[in-house]
Amino acid sequence: MSNLDVGDKAPSFDLPTDNGGSLKLSDHKGKTVVLYFYPKDMTPGCTTESQDFRDRIKGFEKSGAVIVGASKDSVVRHDKFVAKHNLPFALISDENGTLCEDYGVWKLKKLYGREFMGIERSTFIIDGKGVIRHIWRKVKVKGHVDDVLGTVQAL
């Protein structure tokens, strides 16, 4: 389990995405990458968060930032999620959980007295040199994307 901090080198990756693609962190060298981890496609909080990123995409693009979503959902499920909500950015499929482990977002969670392992909603801003510039953990969806956009614009 990773304890990443601001100033650390972001763990690299090369994973499949929606629409039959694949994505490496190095594909976006020189650009700011907003990497957000979310628990599951098609669930209310994850849908709202993804729609918020979609709705503010122009602001991120103006600031030279690329949005990348990541969950343990399959590429097929990502394809359905992207199509249903018209998402204009890549969703990484981390089915084996390596990326979640590398970024330290695979955590013991509690819900209604039940304990289980799952993705802790988290967002990382990675600069063009691959260095982590900002981290949000235990993200609350409401207002989060605005916070991220403001932080990216201030870089």
Active site residues: 46
Dist. CA 67–CA 112, nearest whole Å: 32
Question: What backbone torsions phi and psi does residue 84 show, to the nearest 5 degrees?
Answer: -65, -35
Helix (H, G, I), strand (E, B) or coil at 131: strand
Q: CA separation (Å) from 140 to 16, 20, 60?
A: 27, 30, 20
